[in-house]
Amino acid sequence: MPFRTFAIFVGPSVFMMLLFIAFPLVSVFSQSFYVTQPIYEVVTSETCTPGFIAQTCVTEEKSVPVLDEDGEIVTRTRFVGLESYRNVLELGRAWDALSQGSWRAFQAIDFWKALRFTLSFTLITLPLVIGLGLAIAVVINNAARAIRGPVIFVSLLPFIITPVIGALSINWLFRGDGILTAALEHYTGRDIAMFAQAWTIEILMMFYRVWHVAPFAAIVLYAGLQTVNQDALESALIDGATRWQRLRYVVIPHLMPLIVFIAMIHLMDSYRVFEEVVGFSSQGHVISLQWLTYDFLVPDQAGNRSISRASASAMLTMIGIVILLIAPLRRTWRDHRGGR
């Protein structure tokens, strides 16, 4: 292919990736090493009580932000190196907690609390999404042709729903006097509070993620099932292989590239879990790394935002995603080298 033709096709994609991915990433990385703070000055004010003879005056000093000619707050940016990363990780506090054997104190640190949930959420839901997606794909593939279309449509419904709306729906079903909570209380004869402790909230959040993402895995694996070598399946059937053996030794190895692809997409998406934390209002019990980054950007009472710490948290989140992707990327590379 001539280079000009190649550039015409690839150039717009490269430009958009640089504009919306590379440049913002470089900007976030650089901001994690700088802190921008308003400049304050001490102003002396005198307040006097009404009266002439018994008048009392009180002098006090206040710190107020310096304003420029346009009335805007004057800020100062300074290089802090890795200070923002240390503030996010709180390594000293974490080491003290671990050295004292206090897991509760360690989990009270926001970053490590968020990291623990994010890793658990990602690694537990991954096999469930792939397993349920494969089961749905097999059901669709074995369904009669007349009902295959409606089955695919029904299977895709959870994936079509907007993530926040879906999380809110599960929240309403189980919170307080929700329909499912009321049903469980009726059959068990006990009061059930699904949102009173962290572990039940985490189970509901994982349940929602699997319910929401499994249809995507199913439709990808269903497409892969259409390319399975029928001769290999017939040979296995003639040799007396059971349905499970055909699935394990013929179908799954054939689908493995698609399974790795789904795993990579799921790892990148689940490690950035945010909608579930907002939809389930779990900030009091469960937080994620992505929510922690958002929390740093929420203005405080003075209207200031911790942009540097938010940038450091975002970079740490991206590093975690890269680490999780090493294993599937190595497998993909080995399969690519082996197929050449």
Residue among 216, 201, 202 at smallest CA distance from 123: 202
> Strand runs (DSSP E) across the chain, as ranges?
34-38, 40-48, 57-65, 75-79
| Separation CA 279–CA 165 (nearest Å) | 8
Identify any residues that bridge with 45 across adjacent strands, giving them in sequence order. Answer: 60
List, in order of start, the domains of the chain with CATH numbers.
103-339 (1.10.3720.10)
pLDDT-derived band at 98, boundaries 50, 70, 90: confident
Max mean pLDDT among 52-56, 163-167, 214-218 falls in: 214-218
pLDDT at 339 over 70: no
Which residues in 190-208 are b (16+ Cβ under 10 Å) and which e?
eeeebbeeeeebbebbbeb
Please give the model's pTM, rounded to 2 decimal places: 0.83
**Angle between helices 110-142 and 252-270 in degrees, nearest 10:** 150
Strand partners, 63: 42
What pLDDT digit, counting tens, does each position of 146-157 carry?
888 888 888 888
State the pLDDT at residue 168. 86
What does residue 70 show for φ and ψ, rounded to 5 degrees?
Answer: -90, 5
